[in-house]
Each structure stands twice: as structure tokens, then as C-alpha cells.
Chains A and B, each alone.
With several copies, the nearest count.
Chain A
């Protein structure tokens, strides 16, 4: 009997909303969105946690320039508070080295992290999901009772196809989907809006491809000044997502 499964939702009980930033495909900006969302909410004086569950390609710490911190041990582990965000990631333990884990092991590691991390009271816990609908996605759905999904896609057909598949799984399981964000828009059309029409899933808006984003990575002040974060802020301000 796995005792950890019985403690996970207790660890999350003082968190008002748990939002998994997902989208099926890799490289569409899930990590960028999760980090910017956490930053934005923290700027609005919400209490925010950010959990990076991408064990193969953890990126949140790189985007936010998080370095030289480590969780404190206190009846569990306490996520360090960095730039107003309570942060937890596998990189604290793998030290930036490769962690070539199989799915069952990733699942086990996720259960361990969820069982021992004491977030404390939060308004939002943002989860940076890995690509795919494999173990991490299935576990987040299975283990985190109140999780909602925020899907990211790009206008590309290959991304749209994968997003639609994830959406179909989430809807079948009646998991709340906040909406779909279109990222890295280059041309004028927004295929996401068309794809979502009739599906009763909100289209949240588009964020343009931002050539200068790369230079801002690792620097929170520069990030806040990017077009990406500005456009995301506008979308969030106009949506009913945060209420």
C-alpha cells in the first residue's frame, strides 16, 4: 500500500487553484507561459507556487534564472521563495545533470514530490508540464483532485493536432480546461480559434512570436518587459481566468 497517495491532496488543501500548463506538444511555450503566469500573478499580489514537472527537460529555473537555492527541510520540504514565487523542481535534486527516468519512475518521483512538498497557503499553484499525455499528465489528473488545465499551442498544424488529442482526453474525463492559448503567432490567421469553435473551450488569445524573448531568459526584470509577458498580461486581464 502506497501511503504517499493518501497525503497528496492534504498537501494541496490550502491552495485555492491548481493550474497545469500543458498542450501535448513540446516547444510550444508551456514553460515560458507557466513562468510568466506565475510572475504575473505574483505581481498582482497573489501567493503563487510554481512546480516544474518536466523531468527530462526542466526549464522553469532557466527561464526565471533560479540558481543557488535549495528547499529547506521542515517536516517535509519547503519550496524556496524566489522573486515572489514558491518554486519546486527536480533540478534541486538532479543538480542539472541528466535524469534518464522511465515513465514509471517519473510517476514515482512525482508522487514523492507531491507527498513531501509543503507549499503552505497559496492562491495559485502553476504546474509546468512536460510534453505528451504520458505518466506526468495522467498522474496529475489522477492524483490532484482540483487540477485545471491551461493548454498552449502554436498555430502550426502539428501542434494543433496534438493539442486536440489532449483536449479530447481532458474533456472525456471532465477535467476543467480554462482555455487554450495560442503562442508564437507569426502570420495573421489564428487557426486555434477555428479549431475550438463548437468545442465549448475558451480561446484565450494569441501571443506573437517574440524575437527578443531569448535575450531575456534568466532575468526576471527583462522578462517582465518582454512582449510575451505584456501580451499574456493583457489576455489575463481580459479573461475571466483569474477571479
Chain B
């Protein structure tokens, strides 16, 4: 349930932007949830709900739209692009758990599906990211 810490960062950021941009209203916040971090949407939604109660930001849970972001990896050595789900070697539970906490340790447990290098980039779908905050001044 470390998802709460990430949910908190979302709510705090919305509040900061609200003040900084002097918004009178926030319509919609789009949050990308990168596949690599294997965040459970139920837990994340529950965490957001609790953080909303705690911080009372100018948004409802309904205004926060979670979108799963497919994880695309790109090898720096052979230029191969692949999807996280297509990794042939199934990750162990504790490896998945480690990546859940710190997505970058993917470099410890995953390899390029073509050349076997650990030297790949996480092009998209890494973790939690605010794609946009739409509001009215």
C-alpha cells in the first residue's frame, strides 16, 4: 500500500497547480499509470479518495481520470522496442514487487528481448505521472 504516498503526491500537486495558476475550478486531471509499476487501480483509487478527504483539494475523485500507460522499452544497444508484457522470462513475485517500488530496478531483473542487454530505456509506461490538469481561471 505504498500507493498512498504516490496518491498523496498527485493531490498535493493538483493543489499547488491550482494556486500557482490561480484557477477557480479544476475540471479534469488526467493521471497516467505506467504498466511497469504494476499499481492496482482499486488500491490507487481508494488511496486517492482518502487523500482527497485529508487534503480537501478542489477536485472530486470523479475529476481524476486514471489511464493505464502501456510500458514500452527500447534497447540502447540494438534499438529493439518491446512491450513490458512481452518479456519472455516471467518475473518472480519479489522481482515484480521490487519494480513496483522502484521501477528502475527493472534493469536488474529484465533484459532486452533481442540482444540480452540491461541497457534499455523506459520510453513510456514507467510509473505515476500527471498528464494534464484542465481548469478555469
Contact = CB atoms under 8 A, between A and B. Distances in A.
A touches B (Cβ under 8 A): yes
Interface of A: 1-4, 6-7, 10, 73-77, 90, 92-95, 97-102, 105-106, 108-109, 112-113, 115-116, 118, 138, 141-142, 169, 172-173
A99 B105 contact: yes
B104 A100 contact: no
B104 A99 contact: yes
Contacts of B101: 77, 92-93, 112, 116
Interface of B: 1-2, 4-6, 8-10, 12-13, 16-17, 76-77, 94, 98-99, 101-105, 107-109, 116-119, 122, 126-131, 133
A3 B13 contact: yes
Given A10-B12, A112-B104, A76 B4 contact: yes
Chain B interface mostly:
helix
A3 to B, nearest CB: 4
Return the 8 tightest CB-CB contacts between A and B, nearest first: A76-B5, A75-B4, A7-B9, A3-B9, A109-B104, A93-B98, A3-B13, A1-B130
Contacts of B98: 92-95
A138 B130 CA distance: 24
18 contacts: A1-B130, A7-B5, A77-B5, A93-B105, A95-B98, A98-B108, A99-B104, A99-B108, A101-B104, A105-B107, A108-B103, A109-B103, A109-B105, A113-B102, A115-B6, A116-B2, A142-B76, A172-B116
Contacts of B126: 108
A172 to B, nearest CB: 7
Residue of A100, A105, A169 with highest tally of chain B CB at under 10 A: A105
Given A73-B2, A95-B98, A4 B9 contact: yes
A106 B13 CA distance: 23
B13 A1 contact: yes
A75 B99 CA distance: 17
Given A2-B130, A109-B104, A112-B103, 20 more contacts: A3-B6, A3-B10, A6-B9, A6-B13, A6-B16, A73-B2, A75-B1, A75-B4, A90-B105, A92-B101, A99-B107, A101-B107, A105-B122, A108-B126, A109-B105, A115-B9, A116-B2, A142-B76, A142-B77, A142-B119
Nearest to B10: A3
Given A2-B129, A3-B9, A3-B13, A102 B1 contact: no
A106 B6 contact: no
Nearest to A113: B102
B57 to A, nearest CB: 12
A112 B76 CA distance: 17
Contacts of B133: 1
Contacts of B1: 73-75
A77 B2 contact: yes
A118 B13 contact: no
A105 B17 CA distance: 26
A66 B108 CA distance: 21
Contacts of B6: 3-4, 115-116
Nearest to B117: A173
Residue of B5, B12, B101, B130 with highest tally of chain A CB at under 10 A: B5
